[in-house]
Structure 1
């Protein structure tokens, strides 16, 4: 080393020699707090967005299940069993409004020799529908059988168009099943939801019954979309 270099080192200010280089790998406490605060704000923003989406999607689930089409003149009104009478009342209302001259009531056995179709028949007559205008389908135990046995009756009577009536939460699955059963038949089907005081598709999560109905129907809709062999396995389980 040259003598001039050694002299410069010796002459350097002692205070300057004692200075420590800053630790560039460490973040000052203030900086760490700022970064933590930003992350917290981002997390809160994400949570707010997810919460908003959750509340937006809740009504969509109920609305998805609802299929309610504009009615027209048809050969027959088909009323499916499964409620306390609102479906039959809606079917009778359509009948009296001139939508069709005949009604099929579909519902299988409930006890001994009585079928739901028998009870629906009495209800229809009580609502002013002439007994001669009501056709009973008294074997169906589920929506699939509703569609199959109603199709047999419609073929037997030569009906080529129908309004299918059920509850709002049931209508999506009804359409899926009926469209599949009637595929290629050239039959015109219209789906009409019966007004319901016990189910609101826009506020279904506010009642225990609403939550049970929507969750159950969404699962059943998924199952309905499965191939037939998988549906059979699940139904037998």
Structure 2
């Protein structure tokens, strides 16, 4: 009887699940990634705070990216001061006219008509860069003064340099009054703005394109027209 029936094998404990072993590693990687993200954000904010408006040498042209009203006012001041031959205002709403812009800046319409061009195709910073590159290359410019908000300047330079690496870019950061507001609500809004801009800057730096660019819009328009 003992030869016919072998003893049952002793039960062995189930192997440890790989997922449980990976959890500490995954948690460590997540903590490290968060720490690097926050450290980078602090450096980003410090770099933005260090920016200041300084006297700039003349360049071939001036480009201003629409947004805060102070940007266009400062850009037209540079044009009047003959820091550039021509000024491109990129990202202008299709319904906005030069007459409307002249009412918001110190320069008169007559002073702007000779040397200001309105770019209406760009819907984002990537589109601004493409539009600016086409404008600068068409005019044979080799240097540009870039006017935009201080918090927007890092991402703008990334996109502009990628679109026209052959052109020298001179940053002219504009510091809005709201950024320096001591009110805690304004400071909280500024912190949220900077955090969102930092994420967009990282995406632009690594080449991620989560927003439609001017190129895709133009291709879509051409296809619609052809059909």
Q: State whether TM-score is above 0.5.
A: yes
Contact 1:144 1:177 in 2 (8 A): yes
- Determine if contact 2:147/2:171 at 8 Å carries over to the other structure: yes
In 1: Cα distance, 2:157 partner to 2:181 partner:
17
What pairs with 1:124-143 in structure 2 (closer than 5 Å)? 127-128=107-108, 129-143=111-125
The runs of 4+ residues in structure 1 deviating greater than 4 Å are: 56-60, 66-70, 117-121, 123-126, 201-206
Which 5+ residue runs of structure 2 have no aligned equivalent?
1-37, 213-227
Distance 1:125 1:158 in 2: 28
Aligned partner (choices 89, 94, 100) of residue 105 of structure 1: 89
Q: Encode CA deviations 1:190-233: one digit per residue, 9 max, x unaligned.
A: 01012321114999996122112110111111111224xxx23x
* SS of equivalent to 1:235: coil
| TM-score, length of structure 1 as denominator length | 0.61
1:91 is matched with which residue? 75
Going from structure 1 to structure 2, the CA distance change for 1:125 and 1:221 (only over 3 Å counts) comes to: closer
- TM-score by structure 2 length? 0.64
When the two chains are superposed, the root-mean-square deviation of aligned CA atoms in Å is 3.2
| Offset at residue 123 of structure 1 (A) | 4.6
* Structure 1: distance between partners of 2:197 and 2:44: 10
| In 2, Cα distance between equivalents of 1:87 and 1:146 | 14
Higher relative contact order (CA 8 A, sep 6+): 1
SS at match of 1:71: coil
Number of aligned residues: 171
Q: In 2, distance between residues paired with 1:170 and 1:119? A: 27
Rg comparison, structure with higher value: 1
Structure 1 unmatched runs, 5+: 1-53
Secondary structure of the corresponding residue to residue 114 of structure 1 = coil
Counterpart contact for 1:165–1:193, Cα < 8 Å = yes
